[in-house]
Structure 1
């Protein structure tokens, strides 16, 4: 039986693996290869990397560090987490892995604009023509021409956030017309944000810009930000009995404990700031709490 199984190998899962392995605990890390951080071409707001670092390179460094201290990675997708009288049974690859504790670090998946196929999506992302996190990379679009695909309160808030970086913002409805109440429309008008009806489609890369068809014709931008929300990957925890908010984020206490004893969660799957630094901080709290919980059950001694 492992001391802890970690599901998810993004910044939260890998940070927890480093901590737990250095606590001299037996760790198994399940990685299905879909960390959102791997899609980051280069992050420039992660402390300690003044020249920036690619998401894949950061994950590779963190995995190397975790494995250096004995963490074991499995390239399997976990299909079920089963609470037992003592610990858990984690099901993956047709096998069952027992653990005294489980940490969920499964993250979220960004909702992509419809009609943006995989090859074009990947190229646009790598070239900075498509961006998903204005907190992470808004600085990089300073004084550039930016399109935001979205509407309603969520689209308005993203457009207004980006207004702090550039005056040239166009909010494009993903559907036919915008769904904006009076207050949203007034806030956009006050900020000088242009509004264009959709639907969006016909995405192409034209030189150094990305172009999209709209009700106002074909428009080209230095970068597009989809403000379409995300899918929270909390299904495993919810199926195991953990409580989640209406949007699917797992509910945890100040020590990252879910409502299921021995089941923890950290990172974007939990309600909070979807940032690498925040995920790593939560993982450190979760890992230390797990270590202390296990020590109460059985002394940890050399």
Structure 2
């Protein structure tokens, strides 16, 4: 689709909650679009989210994705497996280069593009435990499930300002027994940061992790400096790698970490290029990404026939 000069209304890059919600809105607006999904959504790592308002018992990330896909089937929505490896902008369209799972290449032309490519958590370097976040051994979203960890012994794997902020957030919200693990990296604290940690009784362990004890598919103990530390829950706060290369290649504005900066319609500084979900600077939550999708899709529908600033008569 799009390789024969046919121009779609929209190309959606990414099949996580934000991308699939964008597709739902555009399908119900009767727009012509395509979703290209690499099959690696961050949401799939969520064991249970309790912040989706209509699921009182919580819902897993995989179930959210499956339900969203099933919902789209009634509209005949096309989801193409593959990766958008390049994106070019012409006055009246974008051209996306798509690589399918077999290595085949194709091009998609679309008037507008929504990037819902998300981000990837930086995995902690734990001995003999690769991909601890993806395996659910270490959690990454206390906003999603911190309530279920209230009043328990919590460790936060982090260093730097972001880690300090997350440790304090958990300590002041959910538990008075929080330890910050820096995995052997020295923690440089200014007086204000030190005061904040002391105020919330956050303990700091800067020694590297020597070994881990596993019990019932969970990390039950962490050995550091010859001592055993036992925790009920481990969170990682090492930050994110934003999948924003396509937007940055077109000159879209972003912050120093690579998160995209958008306007009130979730449009980037590149006209016609929108972003939704974790790739956008701000709060990384599924309901927020769905909100981004609603804003972007509605704006696209209302402006799809109008020229962009690169076209004659555009603004």
TM-score by length of 1: 0.92
- Give aligned pairs, total: 293
**Whole-angstrom distance in 1 between the partners of 2:188 and 2:50:** 34
Per the alignment, residue 300 of structure 1 pairs with none
Q: Counterparts of 1:119 and 1:4 in 2: how far apart (Å)?
A: 34
Are positions 1:63 and 2:69 aligned together? yes
* Correspondence 1:180 to 2:189: yes
1:202: which partner in 2? 211
Match of 2:283 among 273, 289, 296: 273
- 1:13 is displaced (CA, Å) by 0.5
Q: Deviations over 1:45-92 (max 9, x none)?
A: 211000111111111111121232132101101101111121111101
Find the partner of 2:29 among 6, 23, 26.
23
CA contact (8 A) 2:123 2:132 kept: no
Q: Distance in 2 between the 1:42 and 1:13 partners?
A: 20
Q: Which runs of 5+ in 2 are unaligned?
A: 1-6, 100-104, 308-315
Write out per-residue CA displacement over residues 230-284 of structure 1, whole angstroms, 9 at most, x where no aligned residue.
Answer: 1111101111221211111111111111111211111111111100011100110
Q: Tell whether the 8 Å contact from 1:173 to 1:200 is kept in structure 2 after alignment.
A: no
- 1:25 deviates by 0.7
Seen in structure 2, the aligned counterparts of structure 1 residues 95 and 203 have a Cα distance that, compared at 3 Å, is: farther
Offset, 1:97: 0.9
CA–CA separation in structure 1 for the residues paired with 2:203 and 2:132: 26
Give 1:196 shift.
Answer: 1.0
1:88-117 C-alpha deviation (Å, 9 max, x unpaired): 111011111111110001111111101363
Report deviation, 1:18.
Answer: 0.1
Q: CA deviation at 1:188?
A: 0.8
Whether the 8 Å contact between 2:153 and 2:178 is mirrored in structure 1 is yes
CA contact (8 A) 1:89 1:98 kept: yes
CA distance in 1, matches of 2:132, 2:140: 15
2:306 equivalent to 1:296: yes
2:177 to 165, 168, 179: 168
In the TM superposition, residue 177 of structure 1 has moved relative to its aligned partner by 2.4
Distance 1:141 1:73, change over 3 A: same
Distance apart, 1:214 and its partner CA: 2.3
Q: Please state how far the C-alpha of 1:197 moved relative to its aligned partner.
A: 1.1
Task: Summarize the alignment of residues 79-158 of structure 1 with structure 2, pairs less than 5 Å apart.
Answer: 79-93=85-99, 94-115=105-126, 117-118=129-130, 121-123=133-135, 125=136, 129-158=137-166
- 1:187, distance to aligned residue in structure 2 (A): 1.1
1:54 alignment counterpart: 60
Relative distance call for 1:180 and 1:215 in structure 2 (3 A) is farther
Deviating above 4 A after TM superposition, structure 1's stretches of 4 or more consecutive aligned residues are 119-123
Q: 1:37 to 1:201 in 2, by over 3 A?
A: farther
Match of 2:12 in 1: 6
Q: Output one character per residue of 1:139-172: Cα deviation in whole Å (capped at 9) or x when no partner.
A: 0111111101112321111111111211111111
